[in-house]
Amino acid sequence: EAGVAQSPRYKIIEKRQSVAFWCNPISGHATLYWYQQILGQGPKLLIQFQNNGVVDDSQLPKDRFSAERLKGVDSTLKIQPAKLEDSAVYLCASSSWGRSGRAGNEQFFGPGTRLTVL
């Protein structure tokens, strides 16, 4: 079974530029998450999709960040314009919906995109 795919793996941009990240979840996984992970910290949830609908985007800085999940499969996260504090690893994860017998769902992660804003 193929894992979660992300691209690019690394990106260096200057502040005020825009950038986009792509994620392809595990086949059949209805739930997709985007996280931001600052160096030395735990992941912070930016947005959660269930199929192609948004479940939670309360921590997404909507003035500069946007995300979409067309057709309930691939997803794109965009930052426009980028700030220095956006330097982080952006992780995409997916999980199956309603896994019986287990409270909370295991999330499967992609390799992440390391963003550096200069």
> Can you give the binding site for another protein, defined by CB under 8 A?
31, 33, 40-45, 48, 50, 55-56, 89, 91, 93, 95, 97, 102-112, 114
Q: How far is the CB of 22 from another protein (least distance, A)?
A: 16
Residue with Cβ nearer another protein (33 or 65): 33
- The DSSP result for 43-85, as a single string, is -EEEEEEETTEEEE-TTS-TTTEEEE-GGGS-EEEEESS--GG
**Considering beta carbons, is residue 13 or 30 the nearer one to another protein?**
30
Residues 23, 92: Cα–Cα separation, whole Å: 6
Q: How far is the CB of 24 from another protein (least distance, A)?
A: 15
Task: Say how far apart CA 118 and CA 107 lie, in whole Å.
Answer: 31
Of 55 and 80, nearer to another protein (C-beta) is 55
